[in-house]
């Protein structure tokens, strides 16, 4: 590795080593969020999930995100100076590539050991979702037209589906009543990705912007779209509170709170270090923690 790349990676390791930034750089943000929401959704329905559910979720999501960032950084193997399209998380993963690969092997073994303990109904749903995710994952990294795919929308839908599966598998009669909260969570996750994309890729020349057309439209209307989602979340939370049999209001409240924090974060984005801002965007998705004292 050339000296310039080594120095830059070392600088990242040293200067970005605050707990919040490391949480992001080590790909621990998305797994933490996924594990928390998996447990929280079941808890709002007074459903006790075995520990294997959030743990296996954490491992699977970590593997996915770490692999995605390593694949994004693979261009550095051919040209170590090609860093124009890479963010600190990609450079960090590339610099510590061997450590991430070794950890990924250990995570695969742990996940394989946990799979027999996952409820069969949940496992079947995960296999279907996994097949779709792998196909999409390969399309993103192997297709020359991958940039035309609405990645932000896909991330939201996949994430919401994954964290609701353990609950739906145990309570299939709740599929319809949990549809709107699941769509609200998917919207939150998609907006999270869109805000991050907007912060990392300021749109000054729309004609040269490589994003999907739906992404470009959303990027130009992020505050409005987020405010609309907040309003819809409040309405859904109110309806859930009036009619508790529809869906738990706590899920909608947690989503609405996260949407509000995400919008506030957008307003102060210029005051924060880019990596801190990126990590904070995921930090606001931990709002279920704030509602734990209010769960019955």
Residue 22 C-alpha from the chain's centroid: 16
Tally of domains within the chain: 1
pLDDT for 211 equals 58
Residues 6+ positions from 62 with CB-CB distance below 8 Å: 27, 28, 30, 31, 107
- Using a cut of 0.95, tell me whether the model's pTM lies above it: no
SS3 of residue 272 by DSSP: coil
Query: Which run of H or of E encompasses 105?
Result: helix 97-114
Rounded (5°) CA angle 88-92-98: 160
Give the residue numbers spanning the domain of 115. Answer: 3-294
- Tell me the C-alpha distance between 252 and 146, whole Å: 32
What's residue 208's pLDDT?
A: 46
Integer CA distances (angstroms), 238 to 14, 43, 231, in order: 47, 19, 11
The confidence score (pLDDT) of residue 84 equals 58
User: What is the model's pLDDT at position 22?
Assistant: 87
Mean pLDDT by 10 residues, the chain (296 residues): 43 59 91 97 92 95 91 72 70 89 96 92 92 80 57 88 95 91 96 89 53 65 92 92 73 96 93 88 95 85
Say what the pLDDT of residue 212 is. Answer: 59
Helices marked H in 145-273: 151-170, 179-200, 213-219, 222-242, 249-267
CB 112 within 8 A of CB 47: no
- Alpha-carbon 45 to chain mean position: 23
């Amino acid at each position: 590795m050339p000296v310039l790349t080594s120095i830059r990676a070392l600088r990242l390791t040293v200067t970005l080593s605050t707990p919040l930034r490391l949480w992001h750089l080590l790909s621990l943000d998305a797994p933490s969020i996924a594990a928390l929401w998996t447990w929280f959704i079941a808890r709002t329905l007074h459903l006790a999930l075995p520990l294997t559910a959030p743990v296996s979720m954490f491992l699977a999501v970590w593997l996915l995100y770490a692999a995605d960032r390593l694949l994004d950084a693979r261009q550095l193997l051919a040209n170590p100076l090609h860093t124009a399209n890479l963010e600190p998380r990609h450079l960090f993963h590339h610099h510590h590539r061997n450590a991430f690969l070794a950890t990924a092997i250990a995570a695969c073994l742990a996940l394989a050991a946990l799979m027999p303990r996952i409820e069969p109904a949940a496992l079947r749903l995960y296999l279907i979702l996994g097949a779709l995710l792998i196909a999409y994952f390969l399309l993103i990294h192997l297709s020359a037209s991958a940039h035309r795919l609405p990645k932000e929308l896909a991330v939201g839908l996949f994430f919401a589906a994954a964290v609701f599966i353990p609950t739906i598998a145990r309570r299939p009669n709740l599929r319809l009543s949990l549809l709107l909260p699941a769509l609200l969570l998917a919207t939150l996750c998609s907006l999270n990705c869109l805000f991050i994309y907007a912060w990392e890729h300021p749109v000054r020349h729309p004609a040269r912007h490589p994003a999907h057309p739906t992404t470009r439209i959303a990027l130009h209307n992020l505050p409005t779209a987020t405010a609309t989602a907040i309003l819809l979340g409040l309405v859904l939370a109110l309806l859930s509170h009036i009619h508790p049999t529809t869906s738990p209001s706590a899920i909608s409240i947690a989503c609405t709170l996260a949407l509000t924090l995400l919008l506030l974060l957008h307003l102060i984005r210029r005051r924060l270090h880019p990596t801190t801002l990126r990590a904070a965007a995921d930090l606001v998705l931990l709002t279920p923690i704030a509602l734990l004292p209010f769960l019955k």
